[in-house]
Amino acid sequence: MPSNEQRRQAAKRKLERQLERRAEQAKRRRMITIGATVAVVILAVAGVVYFTNSGDESTAAPQEQPPPAQQVDIPTELAPPPARPAALPDPVSCTYKPDGQPAKPVQPPADGEVPSTGTVQAKIASSVGDIPLTLDRSLAPCTVNSFTNLIEQGYFDGTSCHRISTEGLQMLQCGDPSGSGSGGPGYAFDDETFPELKYGRGYLAMANSGPNTNGSQFFMVFGDAQLSPDYTVFGTISEDGLKVIDDVARAGHDGAFDSQAGGGHPNKQVTFEKVTADA
């Protein structure tokens, strides 16, 4: 039979083995707990990143893109200089009759005789660049007289071009301080047209709402213009000025007038900062 000493040694070894197993089990439990905690933290961080990014994508405002440039075919060759088949008398008599309320306070030119020879150099300093003009009295003396009168009173300063057309009729229309397309200077005068008149790139002409209704609105032809000879041509646009208008045309328009006269408001706004003319 084992002695008491042997039994004590066996019990001691058994206890030590039990303590070792318990220590090992406790160690494994601690490792499992630490691993689980790390996993939970990683998943939590990943979740925050995911939902943060997802929130950014769902709530971020879409970036506004500029309107795409329109494909506009613009002739590069200038039309032949406009000229009357026969010279006008010099001087000629002009009459400016009242016509509604002015879109901007201005005085009409005095009625009476004006010269029908010579030219006036004018310049539109605009938000998109300078547009030099040559006003030709031999084409339309009463129109040139009215246009220079409006320039001298600052009528065009601070106004914007309200319409551009890029197909069929290629022109930029300006001269209405109200921006509505129906504003004028509060007076009207007669057409100065002739049957042989044709329009083309580089021509400066008056807009109207029918025969003998000229006021302050005008248009600058930068390309094709298959129009009947009902719009008074009173000058030309320089090549540098046409390049400025070409850039505006290539930016396109909003189509606001497509169902009416055609074209729309220019996507690239044109504002006249100052319009000047020589004496």
pLDDT for res 20: 56
The per-residue pLDDT for 53 is 41
Whole-number pLDDT of residue 252: 96
The CA-CA-CA angle for residues 172, 264, 171, to 5°, reads 20
Residue 44: its H or E element: helix 4-59
pLDDT at 50: 36
Taking only the tens place, the pLDDT of each residue in 137-162 is 999 999 999 999 999 999 999 999 99
* Local confidence band at 13 (pLDDT 50, 70, 90 cut-offs): low
3-state DSSP assignment of residue 254 = coil
149 token code pair: 């009168």
- pLDDT value at position 279? 64
CA–CA dist 178, 102 (Å, integer): 9
The average pLDDT across 84-97 equals 98
Q: What's the confidence (pLDDT) of residue 144?
A: 98
Q: Which two tokens stand for residue 115?
A: 């010269």
**DSSP assignment of 152-164, as one string?**
HTTSSTT-B--EE
CA distance linking residue 174 with residue 206, whole number of Å: 10
- What is the end-to-end Cα distance of the chain in Å, rounded? 142
* Predicted local distance difference test score (pLDDT) of residue 260: 82
Residue reference for tokens 């060759």:
77
Q: pTM, whole model, 2 decimals?
A: 0.75
Q: Which amino acid is at 175?
A: G
Tens-digit pLDDT profile for residues 33-86: 444 444 444 444 444 333 334 343 333 334 444 455 568 899 999 999 999 999
Q: What is the pLDDT of residues 180-233, one digit of tens each?
A: 999 999 999 999 999 999 999 999 999 999 999 999 999 999 999 999 999 999
- The predicted-structure confidence for 257-269, as pLDDT tens digits, reads as follows 988 889 999 999 9
Rounded distance between C-alpha atoms, residue 115 and residue 93, angstroms: 9
State the pLDDT at residue 70: 60
Find the range with the poorest average confidence among 120-124, 160-164, 166-170: 166-170
Could you tell me the two tokens for 127?
Answer: 């938000």
Which of 77, 14, 125, 96 has its CA nearest to residue 246?
77
Cβ-in-10-Å burial (0-12, 13-18, 19+) of 20 comes to: exposed
CA 223/CA 246 separation, integer angstroms: 9
Residue 46's CB is within 10 A of a number of other CB atoms, namely 10
pLDDT higher than 80, residue 89: yes
Residues 272, 10: Cα–Cα separation, whole Å? 110
170 burial (CB, 10 Å; 0-12 / 13-18 / 19+) is buried
pLDDT confidence of residue 10: 52
